[in-house]
Structure formats: C-alpha cells, structure tokens
Copies of this chain bind each other. A is one copy, B any other.
Amino acid sequence: MRNTRVNPDRIAADLEALARITDPGRPWTRSAFSPRFDEGRRWLTDAFTRAGLEVALDPGGNLIGTRSGSDPAAATIMLGSHSDTVPDGGRFDGPAGVIAALEVARMLDERGIRLRHGLAVVDFLAEEVSPFGVSCIGSRSMAGLLPEAWLELQHDGRSLGQAMRDVGGNPAAIAARGGIKAFLELHIEQGTVLESSGTDAGLVTTVAGITRIEVVLTGRPDHAGTVPMGARADALVAAAALITDIDAAATARAAQRHFTATVGEFSIEPGAANVVPSRARLLIDARAAERPEMEDFAGWLDARLAALPTGIMAETRRLSDNMPTAMDAGLVAELEGAADRIGASRRRMVSGAGHDAAWIARIAPAAMVFVPCLGGRSHCPEEWAETADIALGAELLAEAVIALDRE
C-alpha cells in the first residue's frame, strides 16, 4: 500500500462500522428514511463530532460537519456523498465518499493543517431512489431545485415533507446555498474502466444525461399452432430484432464516446403459451455525455421504428429526459495536478450514473473522483472497493483541497 497522509485503516474501520448498520439479515441495506438510516446518521454525527467538526442539518436534511477556516469571509470547500443505500447493495456506493471526506478533515487536524477556507463534510439525504420514488433529495434541496410538489409524495402514510422533517430537515426553508468555493465527491466507479486499465482515479468531466423512452409494439394475437409463420404479426419477434439493433446502435456509439442504451424493463401480452404475442413494451434507458449524441440516437430510433415489419405498429413516449451535466473544467484540471503530485494515475471519464455532484454543479464548481470497484459491480451485495484505492482517492481529495485553499 502506498504511503498516504490519510489513514487507510481508519477509512476501512469506518466503512465496516457503517456496513454493520444494515437491515437484519440483509446486506447491505440502509434505505433513506428508514430506522436503519437514522441509526447510520447517529453514527455519522458521532464520528463527525469526534473529528472536531461542528455538526448541523440543513433545510434539505443534509448532515453537514463543518471545520471553520482562518478567514471567516472565505467561501466553503465542500466534500461529501451519501450514506443511504439501495436495497441489498451500497456498502461503498455513497459511504466511501462520506468517509473519505471525513478522513480528509481528520488528517488535516492531525497534521495541524489550518485552512483559510472552511471545510464542509456532507452526507446528502436520499441520493438513491427513495421509497418516495425520487432521488437526490438532499442535493436537489441544497441547489434549491427540489420540486415543491415532491413534498406531497406519500409512502407508508407519510409525506416526503414530513419524512424530511423527521430526519431534522426543514423543507419550508429550502433555498439554493451560496458560498461554496468548490465541491468534490469521491465515489466508486460502478464500472470497469479503471479496473481494466489499471488506473487509480477517474476524474469525471461530465455526468451523462439520461433519457428514458418507452416503446410499445403492437401486432396481432394469432393462434400459435394454426397461423403459418409467414402470416403472423408477432410483436415479440419484432421487439427482439429491435433490441438487437438498439444494442448494436449503442455499442457503435460507445466505440466513439461514452454511450449506453439498455432495455431494462420488457413485457409482452397476452403472455400465453399458445398465442402469438400481440404487444411488447420496452423501456429504453439511454445515457450520453453529449446532448447531440442523445438526439442522434433518438433520431435513429425513430427511423428504425418507421421500418417495422408489416402488421407491427409502434408508439413511443419519452418518460424522462435529463441533460448531461459538465463538471467544472478548472476543478478537473486541479484534480489532475493533484493526482500527478501524489503519484496517482488518473484518466478523465464520463459518469454514466447520476450523482449528487450533478446537482451541486448547478450552484458551485463541482467535480468527482472515481475509485476502482471490483468487476464494476454495484447495487448488489458483492459491491466491493479496496481500502487502498479509496485511501488513494481520499489522498487526492486532500491534496486538491490544500491546493484550492491556497488559490
């Protein structure tokens, strides 16, 4: 393991302690707004306090530990991620970034490094899709971009607004936070680029835009035994060819730039063994770092659907459409310099997943550091990142923070 100023053992111990706070018999589950989440927050509050941070909750329910700077007028350097998890996954997705941020604060104290800027360590509320069906609640709130209507979303007899109050937030006071000099988020890559290229750190240039397109193909429900092969309008056969082409179209685009397209939801009707399928529903999840690339894909899809076999009709609907978010170019360059100084190999990359950093980017310069994860697995019990890799990422954050503080 490389020598770092941050303490890898302390990072490993903290992640292990957080991991142990999981729903009984279900590794690793600490869903936002659950009793387990509250337990994790109590553990974090205690850990932040022991690190000498002043702990508070902001109106969006974000847990923030602050280390004051020598210049009270200077803006805040912010580090953080989220402690909530998806069901059955998330031992590192989220917690790694919170603990790395905490470790940076501890290391600075330990080494007597006083910063001119205040340093904030943030655990954003409910980054994952919450039981209320929405995500990034804390970071949207901090950016002043939480849709007010969401506060009325209901789960288990409780509104999201009430749930936010229950964790200590104050939705009525939500407003865009100012005075952030820079925001940096460490996160596991959730992909295989770093692992397969043997790179220490991924420096995110863009968080990909996500467009979800529903396609419904309609054919004719014929008798599976009596209607000859050539006389059918089989919606599943048409959908199969479409899925093959979507996969090929996305793979061709991915050879040039970051692009993915996945059919993750798929169903047919009537779904009887002896009836030719008359209807197929596909939900396409497409992600691109550049908006024109997404428009090009959508155009390709329209053209593809205009050339369906006889008897097959298509309807499409864009269920959601989020633009790509560029990270701050200056911060990315700052991270590159910091990586070179500490001897960490690095590459620029696109994040295919959404992150809190994409919301904070709306109110402040923001950037992300990805660390390698085993086999690109995430959102599953097998999700794993090596302590040495997380520690090197934390070291990179620390180096960047010190450099930013001197600007």
A380 interface residue, CB < 8 Å from B? yes
B287 adjacent to A189 (CB under 8 Å): no
Q: Does A24 contact B (CB under 8 A)?
A: no
A277 within 8 A of B: yes
B376/A192 in contact, CB under 8 A: no
Q: How far is the CB of A35 from chain B (nearest CB, A)?
A: 25
Could you give, for residues 243-286 of chain A, a 1 whenever the CB lies within 8 Å of some chain B CB and a 0 otherwise? 11001001100100001111111111001111111000001010
Asked whether, in the complex, the Cβ of B264 is within 8 Å of the Cβ of A247, the reply is no
A97 to B226, CA, bound (A): 17
Interface of A is mostly: mixed
Q: Which residues of B contact A287 (CB under 8 A)?
A: 224-225
Closest-by-CB residue of B relative to A243 is B240
Give the interface size bracket for A toward B. Answer: 35 or more
Q: Does the CB pair A230–B251 fall under 8 Å? A: yes
Complex Cα spacing A371 to B241, Å: 35
Closest to A245 in B: B240
Shortest Cβ distance from residue A259 to the other chain B in the assembled complex, whole angstroms: 8
Kindly supply a per-residue 1/0 record for chain A positions 225-237, scoring 1 wherever the CB is within 8 Å of any chain B CB and 0 otherwise: 1111111001011
**When the two chains form their complex, are residues A262 and B240 in contact, meaning their CB atoms are under 8 A apart?**
no
Contact digits for A176-188, partner B, Cβ 8 Å, 1 yes 0 no: 0000000000000
Partner of A277 from the list B221, B266, B274 (CB cut-off 8 Å) is B266
Given contacts A223-B190, A227-B190, A229-B251, contact A262 B276 (CB under 8 A): yes
Stretch at the interface among A49-57, A67-75, A112-120, A348-356: A348-356
Contact A273 B212 (CB under 8 A): yes
In the complex, A203 has a CB within 8 A of chain B: no
A334 lies within 8 A of chain B by Cβ: no
Q: Are the C-beta atoms of B223 and A379 separated by less than 8 Å?
A: yes
Residues of A203-234 contacting chain B, CB below 8 A: 208, 210, 212, 221-231, 234
Contact B243 A229 (CB under 8 A): no
Instruction: Judge whether A378 is part of the interface by a CB distance below 8 angstroms.
Output: yes
Cβ-based interface call for A175 (8 A): no
As a 0/1 sequence over residues 336 to 364 of chain A, the CB contacts with chain B under 8 angstroms (1 = contact) are: 00000000000000011110000000000
Candidates B212, B223, B236, B263; contact of A263 at CB < 8 Å? B236
A150 to B326, CA, bound (A): 66
Interface status of A94 (Cβ within 8 A of chain B): no
Q: Contact at A225–B354, with CB atoms within 8 Å?
A: yes
Bound form: Cα–Cα A274–B128 in Å: 12
- Chain B residue nearest to A224 (CB atoms) is B262
Chain B residue nearest to A261 (CB atoms) is: B229
Distance, CA A208 to CA B354, complexed state (A): 53
Q: Does A193 contact B (CB under 8 A)?
A: yes
- Measured between beta carbons, the chain B residues less than 8 angstroms from A221 are 379-380
Q: How far is the CB of A371 from chain B (nearest CB, A)?
A: 13
Name the one of B189, B244, B379 contacting A241, with C-beta atoms under 8 angstroms: B244
Is A60 interfacial (CB 8 A cutoff)?
no
Q: Which 8 interchain pairs have the tightest Cβ spacing?
A: A225-B352, A191-B226, A224-B262, A240-B243, A190-B226, A240-B240, A226-B352, A225-B353
